[in-house]
Amino acid sequence: MPYIKLEAREYFKEMLKKLNRSSIANAGELNFLFTEIIKQYMETHTKNYQTMNDIVGALTSCKDEFYRRIVSPYEEQKIIENGDVYIPVEID
């Protein structure tokens, strides 16, 4: 989770309020927004391995946290509702 200072979080939340939630219509538009943010970050940081690694790390951590906090609980609920497709395997 990106635990940033409260004042920074509020600043970014205010910026995002300008983005109408229903205006992001599909995955292509979502990808475009991510790409534009990354491009802005690249423009204000040195073009080197560290900067690129920071971007990849942030994207990976964001994806992992989304999966852990949102996708995984959803999948667990669907297993309860519809039954599991995997047979439990005993691990020695």
pLDDT tens by residue, 43-55: 999 999 999 999 9
Amino acid residing at 50: Q
By percentage, how much of the chain surpasses pLDDT 70? 98
Average confidence (pLDDT) over 66-80: 96
- The pLDDT of residue 79 is above 90: yes
Q: What confidence tier does 38 reach under pLDDT thresholds 50, 70, 90?
A: very high
So what's the pLDDT on residue 18?
81
Looking at residue 23, the DSSP 8-state letter turns out to be G
Q: Which residues of 42-54 are buried (b: 16+ CB within 10 A; e: fewer)?
A: eeeeeeeeeeeee
Q: What is the pTM of this model?
A: 0.79
State the number of CA atoms in the 13 A half-sphere of 61 facing the CB: 9
Query: Who's near 42: CB < 8 A, 6+ residues apart?
Result: 51, 55
Contacts of 7 (CB under 8 A, 6+ apart): none
